[in-house]
Structure 1
Amino acid sequence: MLDRIKIALQYVLPKLWLTQLAGWGAELQAGWLTKLVIDLFVRFYRVDMQEAQQPETSAYRTFNAFFVRPLRDDARPIDSDPDALVMPADGIVSQSGPIAGGLVFQAKGHHYSLEALLAGDERLVDDFRDGSFVTTYLAPRDYHRVHMPCNGVLREMIYVPGELFSVNPLTAANIPNLFARNERVICVFATDFGPMAQILVGATIVGSIETTWAGVVTPPREGIIKRWRYPRADEDGAVVFLKGQEMGRFKLGSTVVNLFANDGVSLGDHLHSRAATRVGGRLATGIAQADSPLP
């Protein structure tokens, strides 16, 4: 009964208003009050502050500064095997596996389409049809910066407006098409293992989604799809990443969906639902493509 009430509230609560309020509050510099809120959050969610570059909560002037805290340089070693793709975020695996034609598995009884997830972009749908995917859920206690699974060249970023449902496991199991309904930022990379999409999914009280090359992507929330294209690796202005580099962050919340091309990677057998993830741990083994090096 309680779960049904929680799901019903997802449909009736003013999610955008709550998200805007949370974003406003998280940016307040309120001195001792900010520290108190952070201390209570750390205690309630059992956040390991010893991993942070700055473990003292008094060092953070806003809640957002605490929430996107950088970790110590040695806190997340990156798998150095050149064929290894690594986990992009701390959290748990929501689901992973093959993409069945154009359908991605969300939870028992629920699939969503690549077409809906990728905002109807037929070219991208074709890139990932019959490929593979990993969905990573970041809980409040987790480190909220997102990193690159492998070397890549950014080719495109697409902002897709949408709902702001919660993305926790209960919601994923009960709200159809969740990740294709919510606000999201789709980042498409060329890699030695074929095209890869890393999709940052918004949620209730996620104050903003940021990338390292563009800064804050949302808000504002203007209700329209926005698209940015970027140069190839051999062109001026190319945006190039190495495996393990930070590429984005969430100010509160959320989920990362990775898409890989057919025969691009072999996902690790350890990626069962609810398996813990840590940035830099092995996610998959890459299968080098005939058109390598990076285009």
Structure 2
Amino acid sequence: MASTVLTPSDCSSPSHSNIITPRIRLPSVKPHKQFLIWASILLIFTVFFDTNIMAQSSFKQYLRSLRWTPLPVGVGLTLIAFQQYRHTRKREAARLGQLQPSDCLAEQWEVEAYKLLPLRYFSRAWGWMTNLELPEWSRRSVLGLYVKSFGCNMNEAEVEDLNKYTCLGDLFRRSLKAGVRPVDISAEVVSPADGKVLAFGTVDKGHLEQIKGVTYPLRRFFGPNCWTFGGPTLVEKDTDECYQNTCVTNPKNDLYQCIIYLAPGDYHRFHSSANWNVTFRRHFPGELLSVNPSIAAWINDLFVLNERACYMGHWKHGFFSMTAVGATNVGSIKVHCDEELITNQRKWRKEDFTDKHFDKSSAFSRGTEFGEFNLGSTIVLVFEAPKGTKVCVEPGQKVKVGQALFRIPETFVGKTSLERVSSGPQM
């Protein structure tokens, strides 16, 4: 910007007494318009980057070798929104048979760009905000807005009056009235939480199903097996299928899995799914990416990347495990039998994890409260059961705590004669 500077001698001169210094002014642009301009530039660059430059494998390798730096939140969210739009179109094309499901997954550079967002710091800030005490006069309006936005059923809550909740975090972690979540005694494995079933069934060749058409390896999700016999388990070959065999103690059994996604409006405490004993815990301080079903269908190995607390033990049929997976704004995971667990730490090392062996195994029965999330997230069940175990749910079905997930044939403890005949999905 250029400007004219007048000295005192110039100002005293008659020839300059009536001269006004001209100033160049740039047109003012409102902040939201500036954001739209930069977002448009970023989108144009992304399209060019994806269609032209990223086609060169050597340039891809060069980019992966660079040291990444954090992106501004607004730029990163714009990039995610654009990539999610492209992903939605690809999923629709795959549904019509125009693309293969594998073509809908995010590329490695897209995942790395997503991981650049300061989601861990954002989650810590969100946790701090949700624990701020609200003035009593504002609780009904602030908390009521959240209840209406996410469809929380306060009629089931032990405390229905919103004025009794001092902060938003108390509402997240609300307890329920006694008896509103009866446990189905006809099923040996029941739902640990309120949520939506994303995947279920047997583990296939050492791979778990993240969502329909997207899988991830069991050995990367659990890490080295050092809990089965109290030490590292030796396998004949370092393969996913051999790793699966280390989790099965009885050759007559299969390894089963079930994934339940907790939405923000759901009940945020989780309970024990079966009668079992916890003997071991492994904590992975990973990323805090979103576990929304749309993101789970876009990012491969999502649950392997995210922070998680895996609890292993045994039940009467063999191996049993329940894993609480963290997500964006869900950095806080609390487990009642494990006070040493600290999640969402400021600093952590990639591919690092901590183990804990329980001196005395903690026994849990079906429906017993196990822990809580600060906001909705995901529970992953992996357990050993006899072959032919019946699944009692369907894909995308909403389930409640204590609802039947799996029934084992020829185990009729607590069943009525009608339930023995009809063992189909519980709707």
| TM-score normalised over the length of structure 1 | 0.87
SS state at 2:258 partner: strand
Flag the 1:84–1:123 CA change in 2: closer, same or farther, 3 A.
closer
User: In the alignment, what sits opposite 1:93?
Assistant: 197
The residue number in structure 1 matching 2:277 is 153
Superposed, 1:172-187 pairs within 5 Å as 172-187=296-311
Tell me: CA distance 1:272–1:46, structure 2 relative to 1, closer, same or farther (3 Å). Answer: same
- In structure 2, the gaps of 5 or more residues are 1-79, 88-109, 229-242, 412-427
Aligned to 2:256: 132
The question of whether the paired residues in 2 share the 8 Å contact of 1:107 and 1:172 is answered with yes
Which structure 2 residues correspond to residues 33-52 of structure 1 after superposition, within 5 A? 33-52=138-157
1:4 to 74, 80, 83: 83
Match of 1:190 among 306, 314, 318: 314
Matched letter for residue 127 of structure 1: C
2:175 paired residue number: 70
Residues 178-201 of structure 1: per-residue CA shift (max 9 Å, x gap): 111100000112111221110000
Residue type of the alignment partner of 2:319: P
CA distance in 1, matches of 2:357, 2:139: 39
Q: Structure 1 residue 26 and structure 2 residue 148: aligned? A: no
In 1, are the aligned partners of 2:227 and 2:280 still within 8 Å (CA)? Answer: no
1:81-137 C-alpha deviation (Å, 9 max, x unpaired): 3x5221111001011111012111113442100111002336664215951100000
Distance 1:175 1:128, change over 3 A: farther
Partner of 2:366: 243
Return the match for 1:276 from 395, 398, 404: 398
> How far apart are the structure 1 equivalents of 2:140 and 2:313?
39
Q: 1-side partners of 2:374 and 2:171: how far apart?
A: 10
Give the structure with the higher percent helix. Answer: 2
CA distance in structure 2 between the aligned counterparts of 1:118 and 1:109, rounded to whole angstroms: 21
Give the deviation of 1:221 after TM superposition. Answer: 5.1
Would you say 1:117 and 2:240 are equivalent positions? no
Tell me if structure 2 keeps the 8 A contact 1:97–1:134.
yes
Seq. identity, %: 29
2 CA distance for matches of 1:263 and 1:154?
20
Q: In the TM superposition, what is the alpha-carbon distance from 1:264 to its structure 2 partner?
A: 6.9
Q: Matches of 2:285 and 2:388 in 1, distance apart?
A: 29
The answer to whether the 8 A contact 2:272-2:365 is kept is: yes
CA contact (8 A) 1:95 1:107 kept: yes
The reply to whether residue 58 of structure 1 matches residue 137 of structure 2 is no
CA 1:14–1:91 in 2, change beyond 3 Å: closer, same or farther? same
How far is 1:265 from its partner? Answer: 7.6
**Does the residue aligned with 1:230 lie in a helix, a strand or coil?**
strand
- Structure 2 residue 343 is matched with structure 1 residue 218: yes
Q: CA deviation at 1:39?
A: 1.4
State the one-letter code of the partner of 1:253. Answer: G
TM-score (norm 2): 0.61
251-260 or 124-133, which deviates more = 124-133
Residue 198 of structure 1 aligns to a residue whose secondary structure is strand
Q: 1:27-48 CA distances to partner (integer Å, 9 max, x unpaired)?
A: 1112244553321110111111
Distance 1:161 1:128 in 2: 27
Shift of 1:271: 2.2
Q: Is the 8 A contact 2:120 2:344 kept in 1?
A: no
- Distance in 2 of aligned mates of 1:5 and 1:97: 28
Provide closer, same or farther for how the CA distance between residues 69 and 3 of structure 1 changes in structure 2, counting only shifts above 3 A. farther
Q: 1:242 deviation in Å?
A: 1.4
Q: CA deviation at 1:153?
A: 1.1
Letter in 1 for 2:123: T
The CA distance in 1 between the partners of 2:283 and 2:126, in whole Å, is 21
